[in-house]
């Protein structure tokens, strides 16, 4: 009578069982845990190396030194902003056209960029300095709930304002800064990003859907990397 070999032979170990056996043996060795801990510690470094950080925006020009007057009636200018990354906008308080929309964007930037303080600042310059006294700018700032710590509103002599806005920041102003009627005033609506050294690093259309995202992103790059 033939002997049934299949009944007495050991069952072959399948692939999965081999892997499980190997893993079980490895886990029991100190070397396994040393390698595992080293791999976990190195992972953040590897992830950071693989993450592509965009370069900071290019230098577009250098802003000459300026000195205006803030909403508290105190002198304020480029020396006060030295060492800060800042964004400038251009408005006037009796404007009922684009200015409220521009200021709304600045409010959004203020909220989004609070984690960049104290290295980041907002500046709104009135292009109607004959009407916009410090007191009027202070009331305007209160209306928009602007943080006096993070956001400064500027006015000053007409020639100083024009020199800063038109010649320095390269933003247009039409109709004269002392126009009798607000309808006679027109101005550029871009937001301007300036770095710690007073260099212009970007112009952003204030009405662009991604304007706030781009400004905050580029400001953060300048704060973190420069």
- 207 and 130, same structural domain? yes
- 159 and 95, same structural domain? yes
Establish if 78 belongs to a structural domain.
Answer: yes
Higher pLDDT, 201 or 51: 201
For the cut 90, the answer to whether the pLDDT of residue 155 exceeds it is yes
Establish if 37 belongs to a structural domain.
Answer: yes
pLDDT tens-digit series, residues 59-91? 999 999 999 999 999 999 999 999 999 999 999
The arithmetic mean of pLDDT across residues 121-133, rounded, is: 96
Say what the pLDDT of residue 145 is: 97
- 65 and 46, same structural domain? no
Range of the domain at 148: 61-225
- 25 and 88, same structural domain? no
- 109 and 190, same structural domain? yes
Domain count, the chain: 2
Cβ proximity of 222 and 116 under 8 Å: no
- 211 and 113, same structural domain? yes
- 189 and 101, same structural domain? yes
pLDDT band, residue 54 (cuts 50/70/90): confident
Establish if 55 belongs to a structural domain.
Answer: no
Higher pLDDT, 186 or 212: 212
Min mean pLDDT across 56-60, 169-173, 174-178, 190-194 is at 174-178
For the cut 50, the answer to whether the pLDDT of residue 7 exceeds it is no
3-state secondary structure the chain: CCCCHHHHCCCCCCHHHHHHHHHHHHHCCHHHHHHHHHHHHHHHHHHHHHCCCCCCCCCCEECCCCEEEECCCCEEEHHHHCCCEEEEEEECCCCCCCHHHHHHHHHHHHHHCHHHCCCEEEEEEECCCCCCCHHHHHHHHHHCCCCCCCEEEEECCHHHHHHHHHHHCCCCEECCCCCCCHHHCEECCEEEEECCCCEEEEEEECCCCCHHHHHHHHHHHHHHHC
For the cut 70, the answer to whether the pLDDT of residue 180 exceeds it is no
Task: Specify the CATH number for the domain of residue 99.
Answer: 3.40.30.10
- 67 and 43, same structural domain? no
Establish if 56 belongs to a structural domain.
Answer: no
Nearest CA to 120 out of 86, 82, 80, 70 is that of: 86
Say what the pLDDT of residue 182 is: 80
For the cut 60, the answer to whether the pLDDT of residue 12 exceeds it is no
């Amino acid at each position: 009578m033939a002997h049934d070999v299949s009944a007495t032979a050991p069952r072959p170990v399948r692939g999965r069982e081999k892997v499980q056996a190997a893993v079980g043996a490895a886990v029991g060795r100190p070397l396994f845990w040393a390698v595992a801990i080293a791999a976990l510690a190195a992972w953040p470094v590897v992830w950071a190396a693989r993450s592509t950080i965009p370069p900071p925006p290019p230098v577009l020009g250098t802003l000459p030194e300026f000195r205006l007057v803030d909403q508290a009636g105190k002198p304020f200018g480029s020396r006060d902003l030295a060492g800060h990354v800042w964004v400038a906008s251009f408005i006037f308080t009796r404007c009922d056209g684009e200015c409220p929309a521009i200021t709304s964007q600045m409010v959004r930037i203020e909220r989004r960029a609070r984690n960049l303080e104290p290295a980041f600042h907002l500046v709104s310059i009135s292009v109607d300095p004959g009407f916009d006294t410090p007191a009027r700018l202070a009331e305007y700032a209160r209306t928009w709930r602007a943080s006096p710590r993070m956001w400064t509103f500027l006015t000053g002599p007409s020639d100083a304002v024009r020199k800063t806005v038109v010649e320095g920041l390269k933003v247009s102003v039409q109709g004269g800064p002392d126009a009798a009627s607000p309808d006679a005033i027109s101005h550029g609506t871009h937001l301007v990003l300036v770095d710690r050294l007073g260099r212009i690093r970007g112009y952003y259309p204030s009405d662009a859907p991604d304007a706030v995202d781009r400004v905050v992103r580029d400001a953060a790059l300048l704060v973190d990397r420069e």
